[in-house]
Amino acid sequence: MNFDFLKFKKFVILIIFVAISLFLKSLTLLFGSNNVFLDLKLPFEEGEKWIVTQGYHGSYSHNKGGNIYALDFSLPGEQDYGKPILAAADGVAYTKEQIK
């Protein structure tokens, strides 16, 4: 069975947009039915395509406190090293240094 990278890439993009939609829906549930509008952007340069490596309630580090609804993005291998870290909205972006 061959791995179809194009189908996988489309699936990852779909998952990102579903995750953002669920996040926006959760804001509506938290703050009532008022129209909630946030100027959210994907946290990387326009035109780049990243992979979600850990989603909501992820067992590695998204299982406590303010991290339970966090999303982690990465590029294959070490392609993301040295890339700018951007926030999806006004606020703080976190990074973690991986020690080899």
Which residues of the chain have a pLDDT value below 50? Answer: none
Is the whole-model pTM more than 0.85?
A: no
Model pLDDT, residue 73: 81
pLDDT at 20: 81
Closest CA to 40 of 19, 60, 54: 19
Q: Count up the domains in the chain and report the number.
A: 1
Question: Is residue 23, in this structure, part of any structural domain at all?
Answer: yes
Has residue 97 been placed in a domain? no
Range of the domain at 47: 5-74
Q: Does residue 40 lie within any of the structural domains?
A: yes
Closest CA to 71 of 53, 45, 90: 53
88: in domain? no
- Domain assignment present for residue 44? The answer is yes
* Contact partners, residue 83, CB within 8 Å, separation at least 6: 44, 45, 75
For residue 29, the model assigns a pLDDT of 66
The predicted structure's pLDDT at residue 36 = 57
Output the pLDDT for position 95.
Answer: 63
The confidence score (pLDDT) of residue 81 equals: 82
- Residue 56 inside a domain? The answer is yes
pLDDT reported for residue 35: 57
